[in-house]
Amino acid sequence: MASYRKVVIPCILAFAVVVAGVATVSLTLLKNTGSKVHAAASALPYNATANGPYTVRGNMILGANGAQYIFHGIGRDGLEYNCSGEGPLDEKSLSYMGAGKNTATETYWGANTVRLPVSEGFWLHGAPGYPCTAQQYQALVQQTVGNLTALNLNVIIDLQWVDAGGQSGQGGAQWPSPDADSITFWNQVATLYKGSSNVLFELYNEPYPPDWNCWVNGCSYTGVTGFSNDCYCSKTVSYAGVGMQALVDAVRSTGATNLVIVGGMNWGYTLNNLPTYGLTGSNIVYDTHPYPYASKMPVTWNSSFGAISRTYPVISAESGQYDCGSGYVGQLYDYLDSLRISWVAWAWYAQPAGSTNSVCGYPQLITNYKGKPTTVTGQYIYKRLQSYIPGSKVTTPGSSGPVTVSTPAGPASVQITNPWKKTAPLAKKPVISPTATPTVKPKKYDVTDKVEPTHYRKG
């Protein structure tokens, strides 16, 4: 199908916006973090491996031993946009995200958590037109989760993309709210993993509904436009959005007590209105996804999620930087550590051999699936994870360079070729390929990724 071949897209559409320009600004940490940031980081509780079952007490997450648990992890990109996964998913290949002894060709990062983004469309329907059924996809996800838990790592199952009531096929898209299929998805997944204390449920990646009431209770969408995985094009759909409370209830109806992670407003970023719109239930952790956009600079962190973290349990289950630097993430992790907020870095993805794409066009942490870090960004986050290990000779690294602000320029009137693609046929089974001949399969995002359409942005 066309979605797995080279696609040239006319981009007069809401989700196809180009980062036309950047402004470089020098920023310092918020005043309330001060010079105590590094001292706070060194005093963080450390866990090399999982320690569930987890419970929420006040604004803290406690491990099985009753002590505060801090999640430090990596997002393993791929299963949300490719029904057969991207890169190797065997236990050995996944182990490089966790603890181990480095060799000349292998690098172990020392994370205790892996975030696994998935698609409800693939889970429920497979990839129609390709040899990847729902059953095959579910088996692959379960095998991957099993490999990670066998390594004694926490696994965050993240519902990354949804299908807008069945209108956005294949992997789906990042629509403003989840839908009725999301309830079915979580009923099934929670039933499978309710006995797995080290598996966490991230209910929906990055909501951006029109208001907080819709965030809690759901609302109807008419004529909302998004970039869909089935055609790698813009689609305009109307569907009934489901609120976060319904997803919490779907999980709890199975008897599962696993931690549930719930992203805030403004593409999973803003949590300031939780005192009014907090969800009902137990073991709920709220999630923020900071990225270097004008509305998510350090000056906004305290009002968006920092202050609320003193009352509610907060995690940052995704964050990243696009410019091969560490100015933004360095300040961010200092700030999160000062508040003892867990974090997960994005993304464990290596471009295929022969790719001419710039590593700096995506928050890419590795250059191969044996854990070799990318220059600056990957190296920084690798060292950051290593610095938490008691007795480690790696100290908390200083951030590199100023913060580059990614500024959406509005809908483009040019044609864009998806820059994330590979030209060889997929090597592992089940393979998403309609023929035996090589096809071009787009990578997860084109240049529209993470550049929020101006008319959806709230501040």
Lowest mean pLDDT among 127-141, 333-347, 376-390, 404-418: 404-418
Lowest mean pLDDT, pick from 14-23, 85-94, 226-235, 307-316: 14-23
Are the C-beta atoms of 384 and 398 separated by less than 8 Å? no
Class of domain 2-456: alpha beta
Report the relative pairing of strands 233-240 and 220-228 from DSSP bridges: antiparallel
Which amino acid, 322? Y
Give residue 282's pLDDT: 97
pLDDT at 13: 31
For residue 360, what is the DSSP state?
A: G
**CA gap 160, 54 in Å, rounded:** 23
Q: What is the pLDDT of residues 313-349, one digit of tens each?
A: 999 999 999 889 999 999 999 999 999 999 999 999 9
- pLDDT value, residue 399: 58
| Nearest residue to 218 (alpha-carbon basis) of 176, 185, 252 | 176
Higher confidence at residue 194 or residue 452? 194
What are the percentages of helix, strand and coil residues in the chain, rounded to 5?
Answer: 25, 20, 55
The answer to whether 281 and 252 have CB atoms below 8 angstroms apart is yes
The pLDDT of residue 42:
52
- More confidently predicted of 419 and 444: 444
Two tokens, residue 322: 């696009």
Average per-residue pLDDT in the chain?
A: 82
In contact, 399 and 331? CB cutoff 8 Å: yes
Nearest of 20, 121, 450 to residue 267 by alpha carbon: 450
- Average pLDDT of span 118-145: 96
CB 107 within 8 A of CB 348: no
* The two structure tokens encoding residue 238: 């109307």
B/e letters for 97-133, b = 16+ CB within 10 Å, e = fewer, are bbbeeeeeeebbbbbbbbbbbbbbbbbbbbbeebebb
Q: Assign residue 18 a region: left if phi > 0, alpha if psi is -120 to 50, beta otherwise?
A: beta
For residue 10, give the 3-state DSSP assignment: strand
* Inter-residue contact 109 to 98 (CB < 8 Å): yes
Question: Which residues partner with 265 through β-bridges?
Answer: 270
pLDDT band at 361 (very low <50, low <70, confident <90, very high): confident
Amino acid (1-letter code) at residue 83? C
Q: Which of 147-151, 281-285, 361-365 has the lowest mean pLDDT?
A: 361-365
**Vertex 134 angle, CA 128 and 139, to 5°:** 140
Evaluate whether 54 touches 36 at the Cβ level (below 8 Å).
no
**Cα gap 261→444, rounded to integer Å:** 23
> For the segment 153-182, what is each residue's pLDDT rounded down to a tens digit?
999 999 999 999 999 999 999 999 999 999
